[in-house]
């Protein structure tokens, strides 16, 4: 069932952040970097004025448009927050059976001696994501929350073990902190 009610949302733009709209592509520039994303929906209008991003619906509005409006609002808020304070994920290297060695070589994270394997496991690093290894902690940081989350998930999944008892074989790289803003 559709309603004729208007729904809207506003996002404050902090000082030092520049937001531009070019047809459906929104670019957010800030002190820590920039990010861009395409936002296109036939019933949602995005307007940037002074220090606010306003999202409005028009025409008959259903639950679907409300959901899309809320999703767009969340994505835009994450973009604005990310360019001021980057998102940080932390992963812990746990090796109980064999000492694991994790290093970064150019655009690849290399995991050596995982469960005594001779061939190292490799994870290709994504652009616009900073990955660092200090001791047994891997830090993944980016202005884009989704890129940082996908990169940390890829690192965690690279040491996934199948057909072993998880109570005994707890070796791997595990996420210990998610999407905190590094400030």
Q: What is the pLDDT of residues 85-101, one digit of tens each?
A: 999 999 999 988 788 99
Would you list the DSSP string of 111-126?
A: EESGGG-SSPEEEEPP
Q: Are residues 75 and 96 in the same domain?
A: no
pTM of the model: 0.85
| Residues 78 and 98 both lie in one domain | no
| Domain encompassing residue 100 | 87-181
Residues 119 and 157 in one domain: yes
How sure is the predictor about 181, in pLDDT bands with cuts at 50, 70 and 90?
A: low
Residue 74 sits in the same domain as residue 34: yes
Percent of the chain with pLDDT over 90: 67
Is residue 173 exposed (0-12), middle (13-18) or buried (19+ Cβ within 10 Å)? buried
Residues 19 and 102 in one domain: no
Say how many domains are in the chain. 2
Residue 127 has pLDDT above 60, yes or no: yes
According to the model, what pLDDT value does residue 3 have?
A: 53
Confidence category of residue 165, pLDDT binned at 50, 70, 90: confident
Tell me the pLDDT tens digit for each residue of 27-50: 999 999 999 999 999 889 999 988
């Amino acid at each position: 069932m559709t309603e004729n009610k208007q729904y809207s949302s506003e996002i404050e733009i902090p000082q030092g952040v520049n937001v531009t709209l070019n047809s459906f592509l929104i670019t957010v520039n800030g002190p820590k970097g920039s990010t861009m994303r395409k936002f296109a929906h036939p019933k949602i209008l995005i307007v940037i004025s002074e220090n606010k991003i306003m999202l409005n619906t028009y025409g008959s509005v259903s639950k679907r448009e409300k959901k899309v409006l809320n999703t767009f609002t969340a994505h835009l808020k994450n973009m604005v927050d990310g360019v001021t304070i980057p998102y940080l994920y932390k992963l812990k290297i746990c090796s109980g059976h064999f000492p694991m060695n994790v290093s970064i070589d150019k655009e690849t994270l290399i995991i050596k001696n995982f469960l005594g394997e001779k061939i190292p496991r490799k994870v290709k690093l994504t652009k616009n994501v900073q990955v660092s290894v200090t001791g047994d902690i891997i830090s993944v940081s980016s202005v884009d929350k989704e890129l940082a989350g996908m990169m940390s998930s890829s690192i965690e999944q690279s040491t996934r073990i199948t057909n072993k008892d998880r109570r005994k074989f707890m070796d791997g790289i595990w996420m210990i902190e998610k999407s905190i803003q590094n400030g």
